[in-house]
Amino acid sequence: MRSPFMLSSAWFEPGRPEYLAPNCVAEAAKDFGITDDHVRLALAYAGLREGKKFGEWEIAAQIGADAAKIDKKELLERARSPVVETRVRADTADFHSMQVTQRPTFVIDTEIGDRAVFSGFARVAPLVAAVDAMLDDAEAYTAFAAHFGAPPKT
């Protein structure tokens, strides 16, 4: 992907069936009032740039706690809770239901029911073109409704 820096594969553990710990830690941080992506980004940086084994619960929790400035023990306890795991698995199931094979994946929905799914795109031009077209379509629906009423409900 034309990265200006070398990524590390040292985080990868052959035979590990899934990387639940970093996902649950990032999700659990939300329960402590973290509303942005800085915990998830810290985990990604630690693994992909520094090669830290973030598949391990203790390591992921330390990275997340440092990024969020919250207690590691409390974060780890919350991350390992069934409630958080259920949310993570539901999000994962939603992702898999799209049947996409590449990352990153972007899903853009509008209030008129249009949906664009981009899987594997790393350039902004196709995303911008889709958003522009979707905004134009939504505006056309508004103009139509002003003249002829709302379209029939299905």
User: pLDDT tens for residues 54-103?
Assistant: 999 999 999 999 999 999 999 999 999 999 999 999 999 999 999 998 88
Q: How far apart are CA 22 and CA 20, in angstroms?
A: 6
Report if pTM > 0.85. no
Say how far apart CA 3 and CA 66 lie, in whole Å: 26
Q: Domain map of the chain by residue range?
A: 20-97, 105-148
Say which residue the tokens 């009423």 belong to: 149
